[in-house]
Structure formats: C-alpha cells, structure tokens
Amino acid sequence: MPSSQDKLVEVDMGKESEAVGNGDTTTKTVTCVVKVSPEQDSCWSWLVCFGAVLSNVIICGFTYSYGILFPALLDEFQQGKAKTAWVGSIAMMGLGLFGPLVGNLYHRLGARIVTLSGTLICVASLIVTSKVTNLYVMYFTYGFLFSFGSCGVFILTYIMVPKYFTKWRSLSLGLIAMGPGGGLFIMSPIVHELFKAFGWRGTFLCMAGIVFLTSVLAFVYKPTVESGKMDLNSQQKENKKFWDISILKHKEFVLCTTAAVLFYTGHYTPTVHMVRYLEEKGFAEVTASRLYIYSGIASLLIRPVIGRLNDFKWINMLHIYFIAAGLEGASTLLFPMATTSTHFIIYFVVYGLADGTLGCGFAIAVLNSLPEKLKPLGFGLYNCLS
C-alpha cells in the first residue's frame, strides 16, 4: 500500500481487442496505476538532496584527490609524470565523458537501476585497481571503469533532484554542485591519512568501501510523474533514440557548453601535478596536501551562493562567470612566480572560487536552457564535452 504522502494516478495504456465465441469482439481499456512521489519541496525532497550531495562529495572527492596518490604511483611504476598523470586525467574526463550514455540508460532503465549499477561498478573497479601491477591496466580499471560508474551516480543527481523542488530548485542545484568542492575539502585529508596508514593499495580498498555507501542514494529516488497521461508509443520511440538533434537548436545550451569546453580544457591540470611540484620546491607533502583543503573550502562555500544568486533575475550571472574564469587564468599564469606558502594559499583559494562559480553556474545554465525531456541528454553531453 502506498504511504499517505503518495498519490495514485490511473494512466490509460490504450485499448485491447479480444475475440469472443460468436465472432464478435470486445474492447477493453487497459489501465495501470503509477505511484507519484511526495509533493515538491517536502522533507523527502531534502532527504534526496542530502543523499545526492553526500554521493557527489564521495565520488568527486576521490576522483579529484588523485594528486595525493600521484607521487606514490610515480615511484611504484616508474613510468614518468605524463603517463602516470593520465590515470587521474582519464578518471576526471570520464566523469563527464559517459554522460550521453548515462542519460540514455536513465530513459531506458530508470534512476534507481543506473545509480545502483554505477555504484557497484565503482566498487569493483577500485578493488581491482588495488591489485594491479601494471600502470596501463590502471588506465582501464581506474581511468575508465571507475569513471563510468561514477558518471552513473554523478550525472543523475543533477537530473533527479530538481524534480523534487519548485521553490528551492536553484538552491538545491547549488547544494548538489558542492560535491566537487566538498569532496576536496572532506575526502582529500581522508585519502592522505589512508595513504599514510595503508599505502596506495590499501587506500583503494578503503575507497571501495566508502563508495559503496552511495548505493543508498538509489533507494531514495522515487518515480516521478509530470502528468497523469502517458503516450506509450512516443515514449517507446524516445527510448529507442540515442541522440536527438533538436538539442542543438537551443542556442543558450550550445553557448554554455562551448564556454565550458574552453574553460575546462586546462582547469584540472594544476591539481594533478601540484603535490609533486611543491615537493620539488622544498615544501613538505603534508603542506601540499593541505592546499587542497583551502581550494575545497572556497569551492564548497561559493556554490550554494551562486545557486541562490541564480534566483534573482536582476543579476547578470554571465558577468560573474567571466570574471571568475579570468581570475583563474591570471592566477595560473602568475603561479610560477610564487615563492612562499601564502602565495600558494592565495592561488588555491582563487582556484577554488573559480571552480565553484563556474562548476555550479554552468550546470544550472545548461539545465535551465533545455526542456524536461532533453535534460538527461543535454546535461550528459555538456559533461562529456567539458
């Protein structure tokens, strides 16, 4: 029986003909009952939002903390900085690369199955990665498998959570976007302590156990229905289509995606190489790892602010986005001139503010630029290209 907060909607599934003994036929209407999720902006809505934020913190935190394990992997495999850095780069890229595929799977299988499957793939890939003896195998186990599973969890948080909100939709998106910043702030010191206690192989095993916690998110998603009427024929046709060319007709979506591609081309490169770079400059590993915390705090705090600012129509958010991107570019150009810890802290704070502003802003702009049926494909494509 449904709970008191749920509604039941009878949906006409069409008509079905049936022959009878005297040669006549009878026609009967086939209906089904679809359970509708609790009302918008309810307590359950905030529970879903909390679960999504926690999942993004874990997934993004482990992905972006690869730089902490980078020196150990560099010493273990002796393959050079460029080849070793590709492991983390592929994982970061894959977090969005599989977006269109995840969006298509969501239409076919639903949010629960895709999220749970993504979590289990992440867990399996981390366990296998802890056992590898060849860096090129890690390209596949961590770079591709882990990122594919992560994408299945990450992308759907942006698609599902807005369905539960009306009044607080932009704020909820801002909170979800706290995942990358919160991940760096929360998970990077955890990864560092795990590495000191268990080594890089033990760290990957512990990461697998922590990632498994995100499987709970799959069970807080409830089916949502926009309307009581369903056109099954059109729904089946949509499920068969992997690509909808009409998405390119939305100019704001194309503009935001293009800008994001340009921004993210070199955005994550500093975080991968920073620990080893600072070690070569004579700074302790602990000091280098703490810099990720400053970046994470800045990114974490600015994201809900940007989400809330999007609710005010009199603010031109494009100006804020351009300023943030310009500041990050200028600070990165000046970074080789840094000589003291204060300089490094300032750079990481600016980097975090830009990361939070653009990460949250682009996501909200893309989702707001598309109709409901194109959001899974559009947001997946945005993440894939950026």
Q: What is the pLDDT of residue 136?
A: 93
* Residues whose CB falls within 8 Å of the CB of residue 375, separated by 6 or more in sequence, listed in order: 159, 367
Name the DSSP letter for residue 386: -
pLDDT digits (tens, 9 = 90+) for 280-291: 777 766 566 678
Between residues 284 and 251, the one the model is more confident about:
251
Between residues 345 and 16, the one the model is more confident about:
345
Please say if the pLDDT value at position 97 is more than 50: yes
Q: What is the pLDDT of residue 242?
A: 55
What average pLDDT score do residues 166-179 get?
A: 84
- Among residues 43, 45, 104, the alpha carbon closest in space to that of 379 is found at 104
Please say if the pLDDT value at position 42 is more than 50: yes
What average pLDDT score do residues 39-47 get?
A: 84
- Among residues 134, 163, 126, 204, the alpha carbon closest in space to that of 39 is found at 163
pTM: 0.73
Q: What is the pLDDT of residue 33?
A: 46
Please say if the pLDDT value at position 11 is more than 50: no
Q: What is the pLDDT of residue 287?
A: 67
Mean pLDDT of the residues in the chain: 80
Q: What is the pLDDT of residue 52?
A: 92
- Separation CA 190–CA 65 (nearest Å): 10
pLDDT digits (tens, 9 = 90+) for 335-382: 888 888 888 888 889 998 988 888 888 888 888 888 888 888 888 888
What average pLDDT score do residues 149-177 get?
A: 88
Please say if the pLDDT value at position 126 is more than 90: yes
> Using an 8 Å Cβ cutoff, are 118 and 153 in contact?
yes
What average pLDDT score do residues 139-150 get?
A: 94
- Separation CA 314–CA 128 (nearest Å): 51
43-220 CATH choice from 3.30.70.1140, 1.10.1740.10, 2.60.120.1440, 1.20.1250.20: 1.20.1250.20
User: What residues does each domain of the chain span?
Assistant: 43-220, 251-369
Please say if the pLDDT value at position 57 is more than 60: yes
Between residues 276 and 125, the one the model is more confident about:
125
Please say if the pLDDT value at position 238 is more than 90: no
* Residues whose CB falls within 8 Å of the CB of residue 175, separated by 6 or more in sequence, listed in order: 49, 53, 303, 304, 307
What average pLDDT score do residues 294-310 get?
A: 85
| CA-to-CA dists, residue 185 to 162, 188, 212, 213, angstroms | 25, 6, 20, 18
Q: What is the pLDDT of residue 6?
A: 46
Q: What is the pLDDT of residue 200?
A: 93
- Separation CA 187–CA 63 (nearest Å): 10
- Percent of the chain with pLDDT strictly greater than 90: 22
- Stretch among 51-65, 85-99, 172-186 having the lowest mean pLDDT: 172-186
